[in-house]
Structure 1
Amino acid sequence: MKKISLLITFLFSFILNAQKLPKGFVYLKDLVPSIKIELRYYSNHNFIGKPIDGYNSNSLIITRETAKSLKKIQQELLQKELSLKIFDGYRPQQAVDHFVRWAKVLNDTLMKAQYYPKVKKTNLFKSGYIAEKSGHSRGSTIDLTIINIKTGQALDMGSVYDYFGIQSHPLYQNLSKKQKQNRMLLRNIMLNHGFTPYENEWWHFTLKKEPFPNTYFTFPISKN
């Protein structure tokens, strides 16, 4: 009897603590479990070098409409033994605030060599790399790449994700033929399924018909 009581208490606690998403949002793994997810801001593997506020789980949250489009893209890529890999989707405003605070601490340059070797930290706002609002907070913007299913390796895009510099511009020309082809593969498949590219980052796309074009959400990223 005591074991049953403890089990009921645990289940009740789990239900209470499970995150209830706003209407119109989903956990991507519930709709497209084959897409690989590596939320860089949940780890130390990002331009700041530490986990970012609001990222409490490696759980990709996105609007339902965006998830439906990503499912179609994934189905197309799987036929070529390729897969999407996602670095970021919905981003809570508290994470954006974390970026802004970090950008103002000029002596914190732990990851400069890897992510912004040619950009002075004092210029991050002026150059548009850091802003006080992010389209990610509207829930329909996605950062992603393509990987080879057999090897698990990402296709060579010519620069790392979140690199601050012209090398990240989608149409940057000083790349190998294969790197250009890989960027175009990603760009074209996203365009064909209703996404708009961002002209400063090869990995960044926003659903054209995003359902919340004027709303910036603040709820944290937690497990479902």
Structure 2
Amino acid sequence: MNNSPLVEIDAQRYQVQIDLIYAGADNLAGRVIYPDARCLLHHQAAECLSKASQLARQAGLTLRIYDAYRPPYAQYLLWDALPNNDYVRDPHLGSHHSRGVAVDLTLVGADGEPLDMGTEFDAMEEKSHQFHPGLPVDVQRNRLLLVGIMLAAGFETIATEWWHYELPNADDYPLLDDV
């Protein structure tokens, strides 16, 4: 990673929790995707993550990261499990995760439990859409809190996944091969 734009996200340094879902088999692919799990982000995304972590802590909350940089081989494995462009980007187009500029995360309360976001991470259904109508008020509030923190830190959101945030102009960043 000498010339790589990726930096390792250290839980203590960034004051976040790291729970890389694809390092285990309990995920949408039903198998381990990352045998050597490391939480990596493009250095510009890492700067925004640092700001987001600070904002979350000001609200008495912590960020829990579920996914960050995703090697291209991993994108192919996820596509094989769910070939649906609404939820998993076609690996031929290049995932924003494979550029190191996307992060999947949630907010954790002082009790150590994730805030209720209405669905689990990677629930590939309409209820996972960022502004799905009919969600309970507390769920809407929690999602809006996460959106506010992440937008203020410099990220953008997408419509179909409440947990997914990425740098603006994510397609402008190059795909980063396995590191």
Same fold (TM over 0.5): yes
Q: 1:60 to 1:92 in 2, by over 3 A?
A: same
Give me the whole-angstrom Cα distance separating, in 2, the residues matched to 1:100 and 1:207. Answer: 22
Matched ranges for 1:72-91 at <5 A? 72-91=51-70
Give the Cα separation in 2 of the matches to 1:43 and 1:92.
16
| Aligned residue among 65, 77, 81 for 2:44 | 65
Count how many residue pairs are aligned between Structure 1 and Structure 2.
176
Give distance in 1, aligned partners of 2:27 and 2:74: 13
SS in 2 for 1:32: helix
Task: Provide structure 2 residue ranges, at least 5 long, that are not aligned to the other structure.
Answer: none
Superposition deviation, residue 189 in structure 1: 1.2
Question: Is the 2:14–2:50 Cα contact (8 Å) retained in structure 1?
Answer: no
Q: Identity over aligned residues, as a percent?
A: 30
* Counterpart position of 1:3: none
* Kept in 2: contact 1:138–1:213 (CA 8 A): no
Q: Which residue identity is paired with 1:139?
A: G
Assess, with a 3 A threshold, how the Cα gap between structure 1 residues 200 and 21 changes in structure 2: closer, same or farther: farther
Q: 1:203 aligns with which of 147, 163, 168?
A: 163
Indicate whether 1:138 and 2:99 are aligned: yes
Aligned residue number for residue 8 of structure 1: none
Q: Contact (CA 8 Å) 1:38, 1:58: kept in 2 or not?
A: no
Secondary structure at 1:205's aligned position in 2?
strand
Q: Does 1:217 align with 2:176?
A: yes
**Amino acid paired to 1:26:** V
| TM-score, normalisation: structure 2 | 0.89
Q: Please list the CA deviations of residues 151-188 of structure 1 after superposition, one character each: whole Å capped at 9, or x if unmatched.
A: 21000000111111110111012211100000000011
Letter in 2 for 1:146: L
Output the CA distance in 1 between the equivalents of 2:76 and 2:2.
21
Shift of 1:214: 4.1
Q: Tell me which residue corresponds to 1:46.
A: 27
Larger Rg: 1
1:110 corresponds to which residue?
none
For 1:180 and 1:128, the matched residues in 2 are separated by 21
Once the two structures are superposed, the pairs formed by residues 89-104 of structure 1 within 5 Å of their partners are 89-103=68-82
Q: Which runs of 5+ in 1 are unaligned?
A: 1-19, 104-123
* Corresponding letter in the other structure for 1:128: D
The runs of at least 4 aligned residues of structure 1 exceeding 6 Å deviation read none
